Amino acid sequence: MALFKLALAATTALTLMAATGAQAEEGMWTFDNFPAAKVNETYGTKIDAKWLNHIQSAAVRLSNCSASVVSPEGLVLTNAHCVIACAQDLSSPEADYTQNGFFTTARTEEKTCPGQSAEILTGITDVTKEINAATSGLTGEAFVKALNAKASELEKAGCGTDQTIRCQVISFYQGGEYKLYKYRRYSDVRLVFYPEYKSGFFGGDPDNFNFPRYNLDAAFLRVYENGQVVKTPNYLKFNPNAPKENDVTFVAGNPGSTQRLMTVAQLETNRDLTIPVSQLQRSELRGRIIQFMAQSPENKRIGTDVLTNLENGFKVFYGQQLALNNPAVMEAKRAEEAALKAGMSAEDKAAFGDPWADIAAAQKEVGDLYFPYYFLEAAPTSSSLFTTARTIVRLAKEKPKPSTERLPEFADTRLPALEKRLLNPSPVEKPLDQIQLEFRLLKAREYLTADSPVTKLLLGKESPEALAKRLIDGTKLTDVAYRKQLIDGGLAAVQASDDPMIQWALKIDSEALAVRKQYEARVTGPTRIASEKIAKIRFKAYGTSTYPDATFSLRLSYGKVTGWEHRGVKVTPFTQVSGLYERATGVEPYELAASWKAAEPKVDKSKVFNYVTTNDIIGGNSGSPVINAKGEVIGAAFDGNIHSLGGAYYYDGTLNRTVVVSSSAIAEALKTVYDRKALLAELTGK
Amino acid sequence: MALFKLALAATTALTLMAATGAQAEEGMWTFDNFPAAKVNETYGTKIDAKWLNHIQSAAVRLSNCSASVVSPEGLVLTNAHCVIACAQDLSSPEADYTQNGFFTTARTEEKTCPGQSAEILTGITDVTKEINAATSGLTGEAFVKALNAKASELEKAGCGTDQTIRCQVISFYQGGEYKLYKYRRYSDVRLVFYPEYKSGFFGGDPDNFNFPRYNLDAAFLRVYENGQVVKTPNYLKFNPNAPKENDVTFVAGNPGSTQRLMTVAQLETNRDLTIPVSQLQRSELRGRIIQFMAQSPENKRIGTDVLTNLENGFKVFYGQQLALNNPAVMEAKRAEEAALKAGMSAEDKAAFGDPWADIAAAQKEVGDLYFPYYFLEAAPTSSSLFTTARTIVRLAKEKPKPSTERLPEFADTRLPALEKRLLNPSPVEKPLDQIQLEFRLLKAREYLTADSPVTKLLLGKESPEALAKRLIDGTKLTDVAYRKQLIDGGLAAVQASDDPMIQWALKIDSEALAVRKQYEARVTGPTRIASEKIAKIRFKAYGTSTYPDATFSLRLSYGKVTGWEHRGVKVTPFTQVSGLYERATGVEPYELAASWKAAEPKVDKSKVFNYVTTNDIIGGNSGSPVINAKGEVIGAAFDGNIHSLGGAYYYDGTLNRTVVVSSSAIAEALKTVYDRKALLAELTGK
């Protein structure tokens, strides 16, 4: 269902499982370093620069997912779960699109998804030298600041203030390389087709990360600019026929974040502290949201999107935890590290020292710093109204400074998107937001204790429940005009505001920034520097035939259609439409949508519904086009099997599988179930 | 607050942290092996057999806690949190004793706590030879069966059918020794004094396992028999003066379960599978109960006890997980194991083989067997109505067999307590029970997947929500008379019943018993046998100056009043009544009870409220008398500090602390706050 929607902010990242040699089909390759020769040799394909350029020009990055242009009229294919937030935003108590689907017959019915954007990568420039020159010899906070300043300067130089293009400096190979990615950006993305919840999310959370599956997890958007449809020759042909077993498949999309080159010390921090603590909180919040939703149909409506994200995030990290708790995995990582270390020349040892020990030392700091950092700087942002307040407060403080002196997220190049986000008119559901804020405040007191200065700063003499209620009840930040007034008024307006959420954000801000600075100086900075050293050692040892860790930037992976076998159970790679009807129990989440029930007599039950491939993907890849050797779209990736969850840390080609909604099911559904003849005609060019 | 209430069923268990030598003050000693000479030498005390006998004769085991007789009229001191369930059971929407407290001025007002019992240990007999003879040469299921049969036979021989005595064969030193414990049992235990929630649980969950503390976590019960107060010369004198820093302290009580001699393989199973999975579920259920309680005052009333248990359990296992995630702890365990192994003679090696490897092999099976076992046999019992149904079903199946052929919990010696439990008239709150059952069914489907045969057996074509609702709505098992009718009618009545819960319990029973049998044959049995071998190897290596793991049987620990220092923060051992008023914010859980607010002008604020000692205790010790060198009660243990949570696996005397509500605070509260002069006079003999 939703593995491959971006669950995490992309972090800085690096390169591949090199010591033992990348497995066949392993890798999330950048378009400027795709191993075309190897693939052509293995699969008899004819991948060349033209083929790659064509794919790149039609591959779309959404704000949290992947997608592809599939018609000359700007039609975009992605997953239903990638646009559920849009469907929710467009809904009201009278029209529940999240549950009932959103269907159009004419372009005039297409509605803009608040806050959504579509970006197409148009160029990649190497800026490693410039970055290295600017950061040379620096460490800690000074390093981070210089890096951010230079990146910001390069982004500005590349894109200026043109809001239709976006530049981003991205670190690859853990700082071994820096590239400037330039995107054509479209800010008016409209919803065209989104199926009912019972169809797009059939099987719900229990089927998530499992296979066999029967999900029409597909949706269509359309790109507009200046009120007009964006016409383009750069689109992928939609082939409504399913592939065959062992057919080659390509996936072009934006994997969000992998940690395949983390050192053992970093993996241990994830295993023993950050993942367990985040999972415990996610579980408790999940329980609260489920019970909240059980209270009324309206609560159920407004809670669905939040719950879906929580449950998906839970499974992602559950799988990661299982992988890290597997002693064999840690043993392999340890051996890989030892081998790389043992292979270092005396010269390298003199030049680099022991960067693994440096990282281990920085990780030790996490134990002391994590909770204050998390509860002051990170956790409160799970309240959307607080996030708005903090962003307005910090914007007011940062904007008067020169761009390079600001916090990186307030650099000139980031401001247009940031201000757009602040003025996004999506409704905020106060009861839900209150639960989220109250919950994080409760957890702060629990994990830090009532005697901690951080708890005292957050709560004063109030209880978490009362404080959250007072802030949420009293804030006017749901009003776009009020937000604009504060933004335009700058720090004076912010300080003079009587909005309780603004005042609370102001109150905790200095201390929050202080713990963030401390965390960067003692953890993030030193880790980044040591990681770069390891990246250089790794380059020397294993050459350049490697892929970098995922960074939510465009990648291409290759693989094939095939099932797997585990504990004696053989799983075949295809499901058919007939299986949907067999699996239905009449009860959620196995209840058929009314449309599918009605269509049963006429639908072609032999059509392939979902299938699995060996492509190496991860969260952020949701909605990615699955492409055949001819460059045609044959489905949209929407999930992974249970074994794919360790993919954050390693790829295991015998078990990891991508789960795809087939083009054949999409075409059959549009034709027989939803009667969307115009959309189907546009898609198939007929 | 509640660390030391028994959170877990006591498991079979063993001996001490011997390889590195027990630390000073380490140990939960049995009364027949207390190191009196060592203690007398260190502390200048005069502990002798008479002193020990006196303590033993006044130490009380409640059904889930510890306590002590403190007057010749059968008055018993324990913790408020040990009787919260009783207060809840006695409550109604009109009289909320849980929140408002339960106070009496005359004996006629004392009310029986449903299901509660008080047991006093009267004798210990060594039955190791008998058990060994009965199990010699047996392995796996045969071993478990023979052991249970022999234990049951010995218990019956020791106690017959007299319901005022109870016999229990207890395994010590992981089967190195077996003892028959004989208790005088009282089944009519009445509530005398239970303070308001705001007083007994001041600071609530956030202060739980922290110090400084200000909890009046004390309550009084009285033991009755045949409608009369039980008079006894065997009681501990109550000394209303607090101890001084470094004073020696003894704690007599029933620590529930420690795992100090678990092998590394077992600890890894806890660390990587069973604790994480249980914590994730506990967290989600906690979120559901909190949100459920927020819906109405009545929901809050009925949910309080369940939530308190969940939150306490959460912290207990959170602390255990932190201990196990500490590489230094695992390294020490590994070294200890290696040293013991290295010290084995060739003869021992031939006799015992490699029992550590045997345990590791059995632990490997847990990965395959745990979820089916957990979700069929263990998890559904979190619904109290299901537990009743299953017990009635199994009782009907087992009772016709000879006692030794039955499941051990249905042996003749266990039947009286079991039938009493089945006919316990405590009210069952159906909405809460429904959440619990629904939740476990949801988790079964989540962890096992919808395609698992276990999920299909549990759910059929129903959803977890609908099934739980149907079973809870439809069951008549809340009616004691109906339960009695089914019990009396035996299997025929059970099979003929149209009660949906009974029918569902019947439906899943064979498969549940099959996974249990499999788990015992492949995990529990082999582990027990190998553990006994290790216990024997350990005896040979370290002699007999050791203590066995906790088994919820009577133990005595010694220590002293002292604070601790951690990360530069020095914590002093005492708090005073004045601190309560300073800490109060006016908001839950830091809101003063009305009684304490009113008493502020007259209460003696210099009195010691809570204090900490180095005594080695664990869950089950809640309510234990804290005793001075003269054998007088100077407080009741009610919690541990945050560092004590690793005590399940190891004792660290520099940091582990027991938290005590002082006799001085209890006396001051009875006198000034609650005006209970008669109770105070009875207590102090004045």
Model confidence pLDDT, tens digit, residues A22-67: 567 889 999 999 999 999 999 999 999 999 999 999 999 999 899 9
Output the pLDDT for position B488: 97
- B444 CA to chain A: closest CA distance, Å? 10
- B518 CA to chain A: closest CA distance, Å? 18
Integer-rounded Cα radius of gyration of chain A:
25
Q: Locate tokens 């599978």: which residue?
A: B273
Residue of A nearest to B324 (CA): A272
Distance CA A536, CA A11 (A): 19
Identify the bridge partners of residue B558 per DSSP, sorted by sequence position.
B250
CB A208 within 8 A of CB A201: no
Q: Which residues of A touch B321 (CB under 8 A)?
A: 276
Give residue-wise pLDDT tens across range A543-598. 666 788 888 999 999 999 999 987 667 899 999 999 999 999 999 899 999 999 99
- Band of pLDDT at residue B567, cut at 50, 70 and 90: low
Looking at per-residue confidence, does A191 or B308 come out higher? A191
Q: Which residues of A touch B284 (CB under 8 A)?
A: 283-284, 286-287, 290
Q: Give the residue from A291, A364, A434, A458 with the most B CB atoms within 10 Å of its CB, the best one to mutate.
A: A291
CB B212 within 8 A of CB B611: no
Residue of B nearest to A325 (CA): B272
CATH number at residue B251: 2.40.10.120
B489/B620 same-domain check = no
3-class secondary-structure state, position A420: helix
Output the pLDDT for position A547: 87
| B291, B451, B462: residue with CB nearest A587 | B462
- pLDDT of A11 > 50? The answer is no
Output the pLDDT for position B39: 95
| B325, B466, B588: residue with CB nearest A587 | B466
Q: Which residues contact B610 (CB under 8 A, 6 or more apart)?
A: B211, B212, B213, B214, B215, B574, B575, B659, B660, B661, B662, B665
Q: What SS3 string covers B363-403?
A: HHHHHHHHHHHHHHHHHHHHCHHHHHHHHHHHHHHHCCCCH
Distance CA B365, CA B395 (A): 30
φ/ψ of B52, rounded to 5, equals -65, -45
- Band of pLDDT at residue A423, cut at 50, 70 and 90: very high
HSE-CB for A597 with a 13 A CA cutoff: 10
- pLDDT of B6 > 50? The answer is no
B201/B75 same-domain check = yes
Output the pLDDT for position A31: 95
Q: Would the CB atoms of B206 and A280 count as touching at under 8 Å?
A: no
CB A515 within 8 A of CB A457: no
**Minimal CA–CA distance to B170: which of B358, B30, B18?**
B30
| B276, B289, B590: residue with CB nearest A321 | B276
Output the pLDDT for position A40: 96
Give residue-wise pLDDT tens across range A59-70. 999 998 999 999
- pLDDT of A253 > 80? The answer is yes
- Band of pLDDT at residue A542, cut at 50, 70 and 90: confident
Distances (CA, A) of B252 to B53, B121, B211, B234, B660: 12, 12, 22, 15, 13
| A207, A295, A590: residue with CB nearest B295 | A295
Looking at per-residue confidence, does B415 or A404 come out higher? B415
Output the pLDDT for position A72: 97
Distance CA B195, CA A102 (A): 58
Distance CA A657, CA A636 (A): 14
B156/B180 same-domain check = yes
Output the pLDDT for position A426: 82
Q: Which residues of B touch A212 (CB under 8 A)?
A: 451
Does the residue B525 lie in any domain?
A: yes
Amino acid letter, B434? Q
Distance CA B146, CA B150 (A): 6
Give residue-wise pLDDT tens across range B187-229. 999 999 999 999 999 999 999 999 999 999 999 999 999 999 9
Q: Give the residue from B201, B280, B432 with the most A CB atoms within 10 Å of its CB, the best one to mutate.
A: B280
B401/B466 same-domain check = yes
**Minimal CA–CA distance to B189: which of B225, B232, B233, B237?**
B225
3-class secondary-structure state, position A206: helix
Looking at per-residue confidence, does B290 or A140 come out higher? B290
| A206, A451, A567: residue with CB nearest B446 | A206
- B279 CA to chain A: closest CA distance, Å? 7
- A119 CA to chain B: closest CA distance, Å? 36
- pLDDT of B7 > 50? The answer is no
Does the residue A473 lie in any domain?
A: yes
Q: Give the residue from B290, B371, B455, B590 with the most A CB atoms within 10 Å of its CB, the best one to mutate.
A: B290
Does the residue B359 lie in any domain?
A: no
Centroid of chain to Cα B610: 22
Report, as an integer, the average pLDDT of B514-537: 90
Task: Using the 3D structure, point to which of B160, B186, B212 is the last residue of a domain.
Answer: B186
Distance CA A618, CA A638 (A): 10
Residue of B nearest to A272 (CA): B325
Distance CA B356, CA B375 (A): 28
- Band of pLDDT at residue A3, cut at 50, 70 and 90: very low
- Cβ count near A426 (within 10 Å): 15
Distance CA A442, CA A285 (A): 11
Output the pLDDT for position A2: 42
B434/B461 same-domain check = yes
Q: Which residues of A touch B364 (CB under 8 A)?
A: none
- A580 CA to chain B: closest CA distance, Å? 14
Beta strands in B521-632 (DSSP E): 555-560, 564-566, 569-571, 574-576, 608-613, 625-627
B412/B531 same-domain check = yes
Tell whether pTM > 0.95.
no
Q: Would the CB atoms of A280 and B318 count as touching at under 8 Å?
A: yes
B140/B206 same-domain check = no
Of A500-509, B371-380, B417-426, the least confident: B417-426
DSSP readout, A432-485? HHHHHHHHHHHHHHHHH-TTSHHHHHHHTTS-HHHHHHHHHHH--TT-HHHHHH
Token digits for A59? Answer: 């591959």
Task: Using the 3D structure, point to which of A542, A561, A592 is the last residue of a domain.
Answer: A542
Token digits for A168? Answer: 């981003």
Task: Give the torsion through C-alpha atoms of B109, B112, B114, B118, to 10 deg.
Answer: 140
Does the residue A642 lie in any domain?
A: yes
Distance CA B287, CA A289 (A): 8
Distance CA B622, CA B96 (A): 24
B229/B160 same-domain check = no
- B318 CA to chain A: closest CA distance, Å? 9
Does the residue B365 lie in any domain?
A: no
Instruction: Give residue A321's domain range.
Output: 264-542
B174/B209 same-domain check = no
Output the pLDDT for position B23: 62
Q: Which residues of A touch B210 (CB under 8 A)?
A: 449-451
A462/A599 same-domain check = no
Distance CA B521, CA B513 (A): 12
Residue of B nearest to A283 (CA): B284
Report, as an integer, the average pLDDT of B367-379: 93
Give residue-wise pLDDT tens across range A623-653. 999 999 999 999 999 999 988 988 999 898 8
Domain count, chain A: 2
Q: Give the residue from A273, A280, A369 with the most B CB atoms within 10 Å of its CB, the best one to mutate.
A: A280
Token digits for B242? Answer: 């607090």
Q: What SS3 string covers A572-609?
A: CCEEEHHHHHHHCCCCCCCCCCHHHHHHCCCCCCCCEE
Distance CA A527, CA A34 (A): 29
B565/B646 same-domain check = yes
Does the residue B25 lie in any domain?
A: no
Q: For residue B597, count CB atoms less than 10 angstroms from its CB and return exposed for 0-12, middle for 13-18, buried for 19 or more.
A: middle
Report, as an integer, the average pLDDT of B223-244: 97
- B582 CA to chain A: closest CA distance, Å? 12
Output the pLDDT for position A345: 93
Output the pLDDT for position B19: 34
- pLDDT of B313 > 80? The answer is yes
Amino acid letter, A334? R
Centroid of chain to Cα A621: 8
Is the preceding peptide bond at B589 cis, omega within 30 degrees of 0? Answer: yes
Q: Would the CB atoms of A451 and B210 count as touching at under 8 Å?
A: yes
Q: What is the mean pLDDT of chain A?
A: 92
Hey, CA dihedral for B148, B153, B159, B164, is it positive or negative?
A: positive
Task: Using the 3D structure, point to which of A542, A570, A591 is the last residue of a domain.
Answer: A542
Distance CA A606, CA A581 (A): 12
Residue of A nearest to B436 (CA): A287
Identify the bridge partners of residue A182 per DSSP, sorted by sequence position.
A123, A167
- pLDDT of B109 > 60? The answer is yes
Does the residue B351 lie in any domain?
A: no
Does the residue B12 lie in any domain?
A: no
Looking at per-residue confidence, does B345 or A413 come out higher? B345
Output the pLDDT for position A140: 66
Report, as an integer, the average pLDDT of B111-125: 95
Distance CA B308, CA B41 (A): 42
Give residue-wise pLDDT tens across range B452-470. 899 999 999 899 999 999 9
Of A191-195, A406-410, A456-460, B8-12, the least confident: B8-12
Give residue-wise pLDDT tens across range A453-498. 999 999 998 999 999 999 999 999 999 999 999 999 999 999 999 9
Q: Would the CB atoms of B321 and A587 count as touching at under 8 Å?
A: no
Q: Would the CB atoms of B587 and A451 count as touching at under 8 Å?
A: no
- pLDDT of A657 > 90? The answer is yes
B402/B505 same-domain check = yes
**Minimal CA–CA distance to A505: which of A426, A373, A388?**
A388
- A464 CA to chain B: closest CA distance, Å? 10
Distances (CA, A) of A33 to A544, A548, A643, B500, B666: 9, 10, 27, 63, 75
Q: How long, in residues, is chain B? A: 686
Give residue-wise pLDDT tens across range B38-91. 999 999 999 999 999 999 999 999 998 999 999 999 999 999 999 998 998 899
- A451 CA to chain B: closest CA distance, Å? 9
- pLDDT of A608 > 60? The answer is yes
CB B31 within 8 A of CB B124: yes
CB A315 within 8 A of CB A646: no
Token digits for B255? Answer: 């620590």
- Band of pLDDT at residue A513, cut at 50, 70 and 90: very high
Q: Give the residue from B215, B288, B465, B582 with the most A CB atoms within 10 Å of its CB, the best one to mutate.
A: B288
Q: Locate tokens 């569902």: which residue?
A: B504
Q: What is the mean pLDDT of chain B?
A: 92
- pLDDT of A15 > 50? The answer is no
Token digits for B609? Answer: 């409220």
Distance CA A234, CA B287 (A): 49
Distance CA B349, CA B346 (A): 5
Q: Give the residue from A1, A209, A279, A284 with the most B CB atoms within 10 Å of its CB, the best one to mutate.
A: A284
- A551 CA to chain B: closest CA distance, Å? 29
* Number of A–B residue contacts, CB under 8 Å: 109
